[in-house]
Amino acid sequence: MQWVLSVGAMMVAAMFGSVHAQPTTGTVRLMFTEHGRFDMTAVVGTVYFELPGGGHRERRVTTFREPLLMEAMPVGTHRLTIVAQTMTSALVSSEVHEVTVTAGAVSDARVDLVRRSGAIHVRNAAGLPVGGAHYYSRPSAVNSTADEGGMISLATLAVGTALTVRTIQWGMTCHRVTASTRQTVVVSDATDELVIVTPTMPTSHLPQRRGLVPSAFLMGATVSGLPGADCAIPYEHFPVTLSRAGTMTAHTMLLPQGDYTITLRDGRTLAVRAPGRVELVR
């Protein structure tokens, strides 16, 4: 019987050819310069990747004098930046780079590390400094706060970084970092509720242990149209209150009064208004 099965397998292979799984990942090879020269002073750093379709990956770097190979990278276009440290100062990639990964191939990218000076000044709608504002950067995944004078250092923020800024008044905006040494971000206070109602996703099949978790429909979504914003803000960056709405879950977020666009991970868009309510059932 074993011999018969082997012969049958050989006949099928001969008729249809052998089937090989197609590669779904590729390799990124990074080469480094410092202010345009190969004379490197960086001693340690981190490469941050924003993956196609969402998600992040990072890799620690301990030598910048040789190419760095990043294997098993998903196919598609990645955004990347690098934050490094010399013995005395910080370095950052001169800009956010886009690298397209092809299945089974090696994609090359050259990254120039530079010293940046200057700051981003966070202001409210009245033009006053907003101290202690939180900020989140993409793709470098920095999560920190502005100083008491509302200043965010540019030392580790590459040109092209998408910077989400949130104040203690729950105001939000997104700023695309430029090459200027002085930049201003104006954040309007959040005053009105937007309620998004989705099917409830239980955390357990046991009724006594069921809780509320953010809807899978909204994970990976972005919100556009906030005052002063020149980039979209990930839904995950917003403070959201969850509550039951019958058999559904209500996600309540605060926004300045106005019209917004929510882009879901699958590419669908929702036109919404604050104050307002919208149901997302599938």
Q: Quick: pLDDT tens for 10-22.
A: 444 444 444 455 6
Q: Which residue has the higher pLDDT, 241 or 202?
A: 241
Q: Which string of b and e fits 221-248 if b means at least 16 CB within 10 Å?
A: bbbebbbbbebbbbbebbebebeeeeeb
What count of Cα atoms within 13 Å lies in the side-chain half-sphere of residue 93? 25
Question: How far is residue 93's CA from residue 99's CA, in Å, rounded to a whole number?
Answer: 14
Mean pLDDT, the chain, integer: 88
Q: Which residue has the higher pLDDT, 153 or 169?
A: 153
Nearest in space to 227 (alpha carbons), one of 193, 274, 268: 274
pLDDT for 202 equals 64
Question: How far is residue 174's CA from residue 231's CA, in Å, rounded to a whole number?
Answer: 5
Structure confidence by residue, pLDDT tens digits, 102-123: 999 999 999 999 999 999 999 9
- Least reliable range by pLDDT among 90-94, 182-186, 197-201: 197-201
Q: Do domains 26-114 and 192-279 have the same CATH topology?
A: yes
Structure confidence by residue, pLDDT tens digits, 189-202: 999 999 999 988 76
pLDDT band per the 50, 70, 90 thresholds, residue 166: very high
Domain boundaries, the chain: 26-114, 119-187, 192-279
Contact between 186 and 173 under an 8 Å Cβ cutoff? The reply is yes
Structure confidence by residue, pLDDT tens digits, 242-255: 998 788 889 999 99
Fold of 119-187: Immunoglobulin-like (2.60.40)
Question: How far is residue 259's CA from residue 35's CA, in Å, rounded to a whole number?
Answer: 43
Q: Specify the CATH architecture of the domain 192-279.
A: Sandwich (2.60)
pLDDT for 55 equals 81
pLDDT for 11 equals 42
pLDDT for 76 equals 94
pTM: 0.84
Looking at domain 26-114, what is its CATH homologous superfamily? Carboxypeptidase-like, regulatory domain (2.60.40.1120)
Contact between 198 and 232 under an 8 Å Cβ cutoff? The reply is no
pLDDT for 5 equals 37
pLDDT for 274 equals 97
pLDDT for 170 equals 85
